[in-house]
Structure formats: structure tokens, C-alpha cells
Copies of this chain bind each other. A is one copy, B any other.
Amino acid sequence: MSDTPEITPGEEGAPRESLFEAPVMGEQERMVEAILFASAEPVTVKELNDRMPHGCDAAEALAHLRKRYEGRGVHVVRVGDAWAIRTAPDLGFLMQRETVETRKLSRAAIETLAIIAYHQPVTRAEIEEIRGVSVSRGTVDQLLEMEWIRFGRRRMTPGRPVTFVVTQEFLDHFGLESARDLPGLADLRAAGLLESRPSPLGAPQTGEGDVDADEGMDEGQSELFED
């Protein structure tokens, strides 16, 4: 038996339409609708295209579908580079039964999360610099476990520290289309509160002093707005 199974996406089961003619847009919209309804997690346009018959344009079908659900009880929402159907927030009061009691986050965890979201990608040292206290392992672990943060690229500074960024789950949970839509982001940037400001010599180094903590901060911000 071969140990490297060759996985080829099957074409079987595709509608009996022609292989070369894509289904009409109305049909494509139905397909996107069915796929998004069936999934609890956001689905990327690429995944949609992969699952739909050859020649479909999921992005266009999505745009139609999104329009169709405007003002309805459920909405088509964007989550990073993926899409999902979610109930309209104004109907939350109907859903008490569905509410899952989530673990209460500690104040430290909430602050750390906010710092990662607004400053991403951010190193542990930078988080500590901002909070003025060292970040406990448990806090980061909890956020990682909740899949609200993940490791980003390593910072290209001595020691190559890891960075943290927020995830699609984070965006999904807080109903954000992208990290750019974080509340008050523009104001914070305008006030210069997201930029790095090297601490003058002699200021007490909070957290575990990572000399390079401030470096690369701008790179981080630019990465955030790249996508």
C-alpha cells in the first residue's frame, strides 16, 4: 500500500450541467446560501469556489446573497477573508436559550487581548511594556486556547521574538469584518497611542525588559493594514 495517498478533489456528484458551463447566477447564489447555512464557521471565497461546480463565481454570488439578506433575521457577514451567516444582533433577546455560558475572562486577559488586537503583531515584551506588568503564561495560554489569538511572524530583531495576532475566531466573536474595524482604532492612531515611542533612558523598564520591544512596531502596524 502506498504511504502517500494522492488526494484529488472528486468531480463526481456535481450537477449534471455541462462541465464547461457554469450554473446560472441564481443557482450559484443558492449554492453559496446552502454552504453558508450549513457551516457554523466562516467559509472563505476560495473554499466556496472549491466546493461549487467548476466555473462558478462565488464572490459575485456572495454579493447577491448578502444583498438578499439585508434587513432579514439572519445576515451574511464578513469575517476577515471569510463569510458566515449570523443572526441579526437586534434579535439576540430571542436567543437566551442558545446562549452558551462562556468562561469569564480576567481583566488581565481582556487587556492583553485588546493590546494584541490594536497593536498586532505584538511581542510579549511590548504587551508588558504597555501594561507595565509581566504577562502571565496562563493569560496568553487562555487566549490561545480560545483561539482568539495566534502566533504571528517572528520579529526580525535580535532574539527573533514571536509576535501575537488576533484570529478569524476573534473577528467572528466580536462581529468584526477585519481588524481595521476595531472600535476607536482611528482615534487611537490619530492620538499617537498606537505608535511606538522609545522610552527615554532612565525610565523604568516594565515587564521583562526586551530591548527591541519598541523596534519593529511600525512594521507591525503596517502589516495590520496590509490586508
Residue positions of A touching B, CB distance < 8 A: 1-2, 5-10, 12-16, 29-35, 37-40, 51-52, 71-74, 85, 87-88, 90-91, 93-104, 106
Contacts and interface: CB of A to CB of B under 8 A. Distances in A.
A42 to B, nearest CB: 14
B13 A96 contact: yes
Nearest 8 Cβ contacts at the A-B interface: A10-B98, A33-B73, A30-B73, A34-B73, A5-B101, A13-B93, A34-B87, A34-B91
A99 B37 contact: no
A213 to B, nearest CB: 29
B51 A99 contact: no
30 contacts: A1-B104, A1-B106, A2-B103, A5-B101, A6-B102, A8-B100, A9-B97, A9-B99, A10-B100, A12-B98, A13-B98, A14-B93, A15-B90, A15-B93, A16-B93, A31-B73, A31-B91, A34-B73, A34-B88, A35-B94, A35-B95, A37-B37, A37-B74, A37-B87, A38-B94, A39-B97, A40-B98, A51-B94, A51-B97, A52-B94
A29 to B, nearest CB: 7
Contact of A74 (B8, B34, B87): B34
Contacts of A9: 97-99
Contacts of A100: 6-8, 10
A34 B104 CA distance: 26
B32 A73 contact: yes
Contacts of A1: 103-104, 106
A4 to B, nearest CB: 9
B38 A6 contact: no
A161 B103 CA distance: 43
A75 to B, nearest CB: 10
Contact of A88 (B7, B30, B32, B96): B30
A35 B71 CA distance: 15
Contacts of A103: 1-2, 5
A217 B68 CA distance: 51
A87 B14 contact: no
A35 B32 CA distance: 21
